[in-house]
Each structure stands twice: as C-alpha cells, then as structure tokens.
Amino acid sequence: MLQWFAAVGTIVAAGLIASDRGRRVTGWAFVLFVVVAVAWIVAGLLDDNAPIALQNLAMVFVNGWGVWQYLLSPKKKREIKRAEQLQEQAHEEVKKGQA
C-alpha cells in the first residue's frame, strides 16, 4: 500500500509541475514530492531495497530545495506575488482583447 501511495503521489506531483499552473502550485508539487520520497525511503527500507531508499533520500534534498525556491524563500515570495499580479493583468488584457 505504501508503494502505491508513493507511486500515485509521484505521478500527481509530476503532473502538477507539468501543468504549469504557476509557482505556488509548483511549490506544492515539490512538497508532495518530498512526502512521497519519504514514503519511497520507508518502502525501500522495509523491502530491503537500498537503491530506492538511497535515491529517494537524495530526492528529499533536491525536492526540499524546490520547496525553498518556490514557497519559502523571502525573495522568491516577493517574485511570486509580483508575477501573480502581472499574470492577472495579462489575463484581463487578453480577455478584453487588448493583447
């Protein structure tokens, strides 16, 4: 069951990133990647599958960096806020036929 959770969670996280729904959604996808990497580590250790456990230990750090970059970094938070403002402005311009 743990492996199914990890597999489905990995697919969902990858889909969220691929959907290009903005920095906030991408940040939460990285959070999900961290959670499922921990699940893969536990599953790997329970199944005596050290390569999977070790690979996902590395992924915890890689995806943790993604969480920092997309959700926690004060500089990135300011960039996200500004990007969201610009995105809304662009959306409105396109909607009104101005762009």
CA distance 64 to 70: 10
- Taking only the tens of pLDDT, the chain with its 99 residues reads 999 999 999 999 999 999 999 888 999 999 999 999 999 999 999 999 999 999 999 999 999 999 999 999 999 888 878 888 898 999 999 988 876
Distance CA 37, CA 59 (A): 6
Domain residue spans of the chain: 2-73
Quote helix, strand, coil % in the chain, to nearest 5.
85, 0, 15
